[in-house]
Amino acid sequence: MAGNDGLLTALENLRRLLDHDLFPLEIGDVASHRRALKELRGQLDDYLLPRVAAMDAPLLAVVGGSTGAGKSTLVNSLACADVTEPGVLRPTTLAPTLVANPADEPWFGRQNVLPGLARTTGRGRGEPGTLRVVTAVTLPPGLALLDAPDIDSVVTANREIAAQLLAAADLWLFVTTAARYADEVPWGFLRSARERSTALAVVLDRVPPEALEPVLAHLTRLLDENGLSGTPLFSVPEVALPEENARLPEPAVRDVRDWLAGIAADAHARARIVRRTLAGALDSISTRVPALADAAERQRAGLADLHRMVGSAYGAAMATFDDGIRDGSLLRGEVLARWQDFIGTGDLMRSLESRIGWLRERVVSAFTGRPAPDTRLRVALETGVEALIRSAADTAAERALEAWSGTPAGHDVLERAGVVSAGRLGRASSALPERSAAAVRAWQGYVLDLVAEEGAERRTTARLASFSVNGAGLLLMLMVFASTGGLTGIEVGIAGGTSVLSQKLLEAVFGDQAVRTLTQAARDDLRGRVRAVLDEDAARFTSLLEGAGPPEDVAPALRQAARAVRDHRDEVEAPDAPIVEQADRSR
């Protein structure tokens, strides 16, 4: 194994990367991507890693084929022992049976090859999901036969295990019949063997004497047309057996047995088969792994799209809130009424332009001792801002849910969340009113602190004392909503007058530049707090995506791992001669 250390390390690194859930989202042809990932994991575990770690281990020949091809009968006949149970019921082979010489039993009895299948021994058909290991002294050491389930079984699990076993084979002994040799399912597997350079031999079973020559000729032509020229081809005549579990006569399988015995007796022949199949499997990594990496990147891109959908919906909500605080709409209705209460009378406000000086005195009077409903004005502002936040959040949640529902990946995530949870996502969180109220109250406290801090300067202390921090703070809050866009009729005049008055009074205390600075700071702080509230609401969506995609760096890591395998590929020598020399291809 010393000469293969670099290759073995590269394969182990690749296998660790494949442990990640690369395709959790319904993006693209995700079913085929998941299947390809499962197949590659299986081939690494079942064949590549154990074979590279033990190049001189016994050769494994998997006997596979279609339903009713006579695989189990052939295995019994080649082993000269009743090691597996044939029959007329389908499927016959429920669990694979591996037969080996007693000298090779320690290798196959442990979890070396096919480590995911629990080992069983003894007679019987075995249980699904297990590998039954039996010994036969009549089978030569150095080569084991594995009777696989049908590749076209009506049982899905049987088809899957058959494909897994063929991927774990050093040699495929593919069995078909004169009646079914042209079926598409077997040829799909045969083409796969060609693409991966898997060592292969074909057994044409149950051939009537009169059909032998034309069927062999046609099958040979099909092999040539499918890029499988030179594949060893054997024929087994149709024989009437005395009972369903009887073995074939020795002459009927002599050619196959002698061929296998020659491989078992020749260490160089075994090595050539192992190296050819191993080299083909390693070469396939150069295309299979980058394809998986590309698909993993599409998963990452799809995950980013889902994040963007949420970000877009809640970004629009923030824009809606910005519009709401800039267009003066918060200064209508209840806030206007409370403002009028705050300065004394609504009639007085309507004559604001002609009596601004008198109004200023009334406001100053209110700030310096007379009872004034400033608390009600603050509550009205708070209520208006909270309502704006809730409306924006509800719209954002609805948009995000609609966007996700319109994509396969988003729909998949929502299905996993469950009907109840997905339904709740369509509106703002039940905790949002409390969060928004807390955010607005915190903002109001910040504004008062801002005014107090600015008023602490010596030149403004006396002027601020004439108004009080609360009064100046309320005026600054109103300045945040200073624009009158969106208002009509008399509300424009009233809101405009409110804005002008607030600005003039604050400028009288702090100066015009300071007022602009304070207003911008108050507005920015409010936006930041609202952004945090909306982000927390959006997290109901994004939390569903945590851990949903493959790791960010897995795609480049997979490509690098595939390159490492390719770089160490030469540690496995390519066969320098034909796998098996055979004078007559159609024995």
Domain termination residue (choose one: 508, 525, 545)? 545
Stretch (H or E) spanning 201: strand 199-207
Q: Is residue 144 part of a domain?
A: yes
DSSP state of 586: B
CATH code, domain with 177: 3.40.50.300
Shared domain check, 250 and 331: no
Range of the domain at 339: 327-545
Shared domain check, 515 and 403: yes
Domain termination residue (choose one: 264, 287, 304)? 264
Shared domain check, 214 and 338: no
Q: Yes or no: say if 478 and 501 are a contact pair by the CB < 8 Å rule.
A: no
Q: Yes or no: say if 166 and 148 are a contact pair by the CB < 8 Å rule.
A: yes
As a dihedral over the C-alpha atoms of residue 284, residue 285, residue 289, residue 291, rounded to 10 degrees, the angle is -20
Q: Is residue 303 part of a domain?
A: no
Shared domain check, 82 and 225: yes
Shared domain check, 259 and 331: no
Q: Is residue 480 part of a domain?
A: yes
Shared domain check, 355 and 236: no
Measured in degrees and rounded to the nearest 5, phi and psi for residue 478 equal: -65, -35
Q: Is residue 460 part of a domain?
A: yes
Q: Is residue 319 part of a domain?
A: no
pTM of the full structure: 0.76
What residues contact 110, with CB distance under 8 A and at least 6 apart? Answer: 119
Shared domain check, 251 and 377: no
Shared domain check, 344 and 221: no
pLDDT tens for the chain, residues 1 to 587: 456 789 999 999 999 999 999 999 999 899 999 999 999 999 999 999 999 999 999 999 999 988 888 898 999 999 999 888 774 444 455 679 999 999 999 999 888 888 988 888 876 666 777 899 999 999 999 999 999 988 888 788 888 888 888 889 999 999 999 888 888 888 888 888 888 888 999 999 999 989 899 999 999 999 999 999 999 999 999 888 877 778 899 999 999 999 999 999 999 999 999 999 999 999 999 999 999 999 999 999 999 999 999 999 999 999 999 988 877 666 655 555 555 555 554 433 333 333 344 344 444 444 444 434 566 777 777 888 898 999 999 999 999 999 999 999 999 999 988 878 888 999 999 999 999 999 999 988 888 888 777 666 545 444 444 455 666 667 777 777 754 433 333 343 444 444 455 555 555 555 567 777 888 888 899 999 999 999 999 999 999 998 888 998 999 999 999 999 999 998 887 555 455 544 344 45
Q: Is residue 304 part of a domain?
A: no
Number of Cα atoms under 13 Å in the Cβ half of residue 48: 26
Side chain identity, residue 156: T
- Provide the number of structural domains found in the chain: 2
Shared domain check, 246 and 342: no
Q: Is residue 299 part of a domain?
A: no
Shared domain check, 381 and 256: no
Shared domain check, 234 and 141: yes
Q: How far apart are CA 496 and CA 502, in angstroms?
A: 10
Angle between helices 374-405 and 469-480 (to 10 degrees): 30
Q: Is residue 14 part of a domain?
A: no
Shared domain check, 385 and 521: yes
